[in-house]
Amino acid sequence: MTKIYDDILEEHYAKKILNIIDNVHWSYKHQPTTVLLNKHWTHTPDTWAAELFDKFGVKEEYNAIVSNCYLIGYNHGIETQIHTDDGDLTMIYYPDLNWKSEWGGGTMIYNDDHGEGKGGIDEHISYKGNRLVVFDAWRKHQGQPISKQCHELRRIVVFKCYIEGASRERLDFYND
């Protein structure tokens, strides 16, 4: 299951979130997992992230409870690894409203038969500002490379969510 919500926020609120993200303090450290050993720019948001999640209007649709939220950023030359997330759903928000499609930086989602280096790509979701992507957390995925023509930080807001009583079969219900 993968769902994409374009223009998820009203424009004025999307600009407000981008302004907040433009002014956060980033740390260059390991991604918040023990499986991934490469470093990223990271930031753990405060209360504005809970407000952002509520503004998406998808909480009731998925009966989702946020267990973890963080920002991840990387620039050209930093590679990401294929990984899965904990929880039931992963929600990724792309905040950069002026992101150019030729810069890359989208998200690749693989099928569950994927083996390292063997293809198995189900979906490539392009980075588009004010887009929310929702998918099953057990799906292997990775952020895509950024063009060397891009001098910006590819920033995303990640929400890891649990659903009370969730199972793969129940989550597939949302695939409609």
Question: Which pLDDT value is given to residue 173?
Answer: 47
16/89 Cα distance (integer angstroms) = 25
Q: 3-state secondary structure string, 18-39?
A: HHHHHCCCCEEEECCCCCCCCE
Sign of CA dihedral 67, 55, 19, 3: positive
pLDDT in tens, 9-31: 999 999 999 999 999 998 887 65
CATH number at residue 148: 2.60.120.620
Q: Which residue has the tokens 């991934």?
A: 36
What's the mean pLDDT in 137-144?
A: 92
Provide CB contacts within 8 A for 70, sequence distance 6+.
32, 42, 43, 44, 45, 157, 158
Per the structure, the count of domains in the chain is 1
Residue 123: give the domain boundaries: 2-175
| % of the chain at pLDDT higher than 90 | 64
Report in angstroms the alpha-carbon separations of 66 from 28, 31, 38, 94.
24, 18, 25, 17
Instruction: Retrieve residue 89's tokens.
Output: 């759903």
Residue 40 has pLDDT above 90, yes or no: no
CB 93 within 8 A of CB 156: yes
Compare 122 and 125 and report the one with higher pLDDT.
Answer: 125
What's the mean pLDDT in 35-54?
A: 82
Question: Which pLDDT value is given to residue 114?
Answer: 42
